[in-house]
Amino acid sequence: MRVELPWVDALLSRWGRWAIRCESSALGFATSSILAGGLNGDSFDACLPRGVGDDDNEVVDGAVRKLPACLRETVIQVYQFGQGKSDRDHAATLGISRQALTDYIVRAHRQIAIDISIVPYHNHAQSANRGSCLDRKQPATA
């Protein structure tokens, strides 16, 4: 599949994993443990990928929610449920052609890039509204 904006693709990949964990009540990203083979010095605490926070995923989630239904459903299929699936499988699941799948992803990437770029940055560390994803609205779903 053609990816025009790799940085949006990376954000959506992280968002997809975050959204699945939120929906399954497994907050945040997977834990790592020295005892479980994590030799990178991580503790038992859950950790986000470097440079990504829950607030970033919430901004992406807001942008996904704003997408038209056909684009939103495509993004959810590809980034939440699409691990290891081919473009042909995604297209068949959505009932669209592979070309339409690619077009929808490109359009979604562009719209998300615009939405993210105009969201004003807030100092979330000082926000009184911080909490887990279960304390807030659930991630976008189809």
User: What's the pLDDT tens digit per position in 130-141?
Assistant: 444 544 556 676
pLDDT beyond 50 at 25: yes
31 strand-pairing partners: 46
pTM above 0.85, yes or no: no
Residues 6+ apart with CB under 8 A from 102: 1, 2, 87
User: What's the pLDDT tens digit per position in 60-112?
Assistant: 999 999 999 999 999 999 999 887 889 999 999 999 999 999 999 999 999 99
| Helix orientation angle between 98-118 and 87-94, rounded to the nearest 10 degrees | 90
127: burial class by Cβ within 10 Å (0-12, 13-18, 19+)? Answer: exposed
Domain boundaries, the chain: 6-122
User: How far apart are alpha carbons 93 and 58 in whole angstroms?
Assistant: 26
* Mean of all residue pLDDT scores within the chain: 75
CB 50 within 8 A of CB 40: no
Q: Looking at per-residue confidence, does 121 or 113 come out higher?
A: 113
